[in-house]
A = this chain, B = another copy of it.
Amino acid sequence: MPGRKISVSAKDVAARAGVSRAAVSRTFTPGASVSQETRSKVLEAAEALGYQVNHLARGLTSQKTGIVALIGADLATPYRSELIRVLTERLQASGRVAILINTDRSDSTVDVALQQAIRYRAEAAVVLSGMPERSISELCHRNGLRLVLINRDDAHTGSVQIRLNDAEAARVALASFLRAGCRRLALASSQAGTPSLLDRENSFLAEAEKRGLPVLCERLGPTSYESGLALGERLLVRAERPDAVFCTTDLLACGVMDAARHRFALSIPDDLSVIGFDDIEQASWNAYELTTFRQPVEEIGAAAVDWLSDRDAADGSRIIHLTAPMSWRKSVRGGNGK
């Protein structure tokens, strides 16, 4: 056993300050009653000894840990890592700490991740991707674990869902293409089949059908740039090429755009208009200037953390609707249609 841990405890501080161990505890408990004189003595001793309250013990006695689990896969994608950045910042600002659980591996389902969160008595879990089974709801509820589901379409008792206007955005995308004079429409998506992607896909297709417009539709692989490249090749290799592609995410769109330019020598937006979704950082890069819908990550983060801080919000399930505003850039003919 290389380095036997000898952390300073409240008992050590009490001995040095000449007060009771309870006085030390009260000094570090917001709102507890302790005289100014005792407080000074305790703080001085704590500083001298390097005392740090043991949050494990505190969590045990107070039944509050301040721990919030962030659960998801593909943690390095632009949109997800941005959301993690925002959430950690806001959780910290509200006195909490985030544990990050990666569900990339097949033995790390969302349910397994939630169980791990319960083992650490996390007060909440923010599910960034994947969907909990209904059966785990009861376990979460019984352990006081509140669920925040981002872009998921199935409510759990006591949870909050944060949803975007995916369907509306897809309709706006279609209208933008038509206004730009595009007539040969295409839809590019992955095979992920997540609720958000499906909303965008279905709405785009339904709106086109309502207007009697055919849509060339391709779904392929995971939601990545590489899939976008391949989708571009599939869509653009035809004799009658589309002149507008709605890509359900920006990563796919960047791939489609690169395929169009580098494989087919097309000009964007003259030959092909492209609209994505997410507004990842790369969408604004000069190489893309992609018109897209901006994931309101700051609002999502604020909504999630505010709901967690709202003591009256623990009952029933709730849906928070947020809007993904359009970011006009240069990938659509005619530019800003406002």
Give the B-binding residues of A (Cβ under 8 A): 2-8, 50, 52-57, 59-60, 63, 65, 67, 70, 74-78, 80-82, 84-85, 88-89, 92-93, 97-102, 104-105, 108, 115-116, 118-121, 138-139, 141-144, 158, 225, 229, 254, 257-259, 261-262, 281-282, 285-288, 311-312, 314-315
Chain B neighbourhood of A281, CB < 8 A: 76, 225
Residue of B nearest to A224 (CB): B281
CB-CB nearest in chain B for A310? B2
Contact, CB under 8 Å: A312 / B100: no
- Extra 15 A-B pairs, beta carbons < 8 Å, given A75-B81, A89-B105: A4-B144, A52-B118, A52-B139, A56-B59, A56-B65, A56-B121, A74-B85, A76-B85, A78-B78, A85-B102, A92-B108, A98-B99, A225-B285, A229-B286, A258-B285
Which 9 pairs of residues, A with B, have the shortest CB-CB distance?
A2-B314, A81-B81, A5-B144, A258-B286, A287-B287, A88-B102, A76-B81, A75-B85, A76-B85
**Pick from B60, B98, B138, B261: contact of A100, CB under 8 Å:** B98
Given that A60-B56, A89-B105 are known contacts, is A144 also in contact with B76, CB under 8 Å in the complex? Answer: no
Q: Of B82, B97, B282, which is within 8 A of A282 by CB?
A: B282
A2–B157 alpha-carbon span in the complex (Å): 14
**Considering the chains assembled together, what is the distance between the CA atoms of A98 and B55 in angstroms?**
16
- A52, A257, A261, A262: most-surrounded residue (chain B CB, <10 A): A52
Return chain B residues, CB-CB under 8 Å to A78: 76, 78
Q: Whole-angstrom distance between the alpha carbons of A247 and B168 in the complex?
A: 42
Contact of A54 among B88, B92, B100, B121 (CB under 8 A): B121
- Determine the distance from Cα of A2 to Cα of B63 in the docked complex, in whole angstroms: 13
Minimum C-beta distance from A255 to chain B (A):
8
A6 touches B92 (CB 8 A): no
B residues less than 8 Å from A7 (CB atoms): 118, 121, 142-144
Q: Is the CB of A143 within 8 A of B286?
A: no
Known contacts A60-B60, A119-B55; is-contact A285 B50 (Cβ 8 Å): no
Q: Considering the chains assembled together, what is the distance between the CA atoms of A85 and B3 in angstroms?
A: 29
A120 in contact with B142 (CB, 8 Å): no
Chain B residue numbers with a CB within 8 Å of A60 are: 54, 56-57, 60
Q: How far is the CB of A61 from chain B (nearest CB, A)?
A: 10
Cα distance, A112 to B250, chains bound together (Å): 36
Question: Are A120 and B108 in touch, CB under 8 angstroms?
Answer: no
Q: Which of chain B's residues have a CB closer than 8 A to the CB of A67?
A: 99
Question: Contacts A93-B105, A102-B92 hold; do A285 and B56 have CB atoms under 8 A apart?
Answer: no
Show 5 residue pairs from A and B whose CB-CB distance is below 8 angstroms, ordered by the A residue.
A3-B141, A56-B57, A88-B100, A229-B286, A254-B285
Q: Does A104 contact B89, Cβ atoms closer than 8 Å?
A: yes
Question: In angstroms, how far is the closest chain B Cβ from the Cβ of A140?
Answer: 10
Interface centre among A76, A229, A258 (most CB of B within 10 A): A76
Whether A50 contacts B139 by the Cβ 8 Å rule is yes
Picked from B50, B97, B119, B258, the residue with its CB within 8 Å of the CB of A287 is B258
| Residues on B with beta carbons closer than 8 Å to the beta carbon of A315 | 2
Closest Cβ of chain B to A110, distance in Å, is 14
